[in-house]
Amino acid sequence: MGRKWNNIKEKKASKDANTSRIYAKFGREIYVAAKQGEPDPESNESLRVVLERAKTYSVPKHIIDRAIEKAKGGSEENYDENRYEGFGPNGSMVIVDTLTNNVNRTASEVRAAFGKNGGNMGVSGSVAYMFDHVAVFGLVGKTEDEILELLMEADVEVRDISEEDGTIIVYTEPDQFQAAQEAFKTIGITEFKVAELTMLAQNELTLSSDDQEQFEKMIDALEDLEDVQQVYHNVELAE
């Protein structure tokens, strides 16, 4: 899974460059997680996972607190979670996860973002089967062997582990995100370069420069949509 780490880094760097947008998306996601369960991360695992992800993007405390307080206040604002799948240039594959209070609007906007940028939206299941749902952590300060031994002792299944530029990259099953995080805390690791639940392509595609330019425009158009929370793809982005 080594090369896929580059796509995660590229995605994070892109979002870091658009702080107001990413803060708004996290605010919505935190609100939904807090409203669906207890508005307390100690008793709401979904909320804990979102908050851990938010830390890696340096989401300010006031954004987090406002979203949780909104959920505590019994806001009647409701969002539906929807996933769209589609194709870009040269058979590239894309998954789009959304949170929306208007499904028809969101579906129309996602379809338009695909269509106006050389892609097309597919039916449910047309793409997702080519991706794996995983948890991924990026951390420093320990060796691969130390991390692997730690997680094995904690009964956390490691799907893959590698080292790149001083960062240890660990992939686990998504339902073991919290168990892995707790294991890391026992050896003093509480800060991560990346702590994500993500969809990773089983096989990556390399595009020509022209196709990649068009593909990146399509991804930008999708990520710019207010209702879009996450965009995953199978393209190996040129550095």
- Beta strand segments in the chain, E: 80-87, 93-100, 120-121, 131-139, 158-164, 167-172, 194-201, 228-233
* 131-201 CATH choice from 3.30.70.980, 3.40.228.10, 3.40.800.10, 3.90.1150.10: 3.30.70.980
Q: Are strands 167-172 and 120-121 parallel, antiparallel or unpaired?
A: unpaired
Out of 13-27, 64-78, 117-131, 181-195, pick the least confident: 13-27
Q: Where are the domains of the chain?
A: 4-72, 80-129+203-233, 131-201
Pick the CATH number of 80-129+203-233 from 3.40.50.300, 3.40.50.1260, 3.30.70.980, 1.10.760.10: 3.30.70.980
pLDDT confidence band for 231 (50 / 70 / 90):
very high
Q: Quick check: helix, strand or coil at residue 165?
A: coil
Report pLDDT digits (tens) over 4-57.
666 665 565 555 556 788 889 999 999 999 988 888 888 888 898 899 888 888
**pLDDT of amino acid 190:** 85
Torsion of CA 36, 41, 47, 52, to 10 degrees: 180
Has this prediction a pTM greater than 0.85? yes
Longest dimension (CA), the chain: 51
Domain covering 4-72 in this structure, CATH number: 1.10.10.200
* CB hemisphere CA count around 177 (13 angstroms): 21
The pLDDT of 112-117, averaged and rounded, is 96
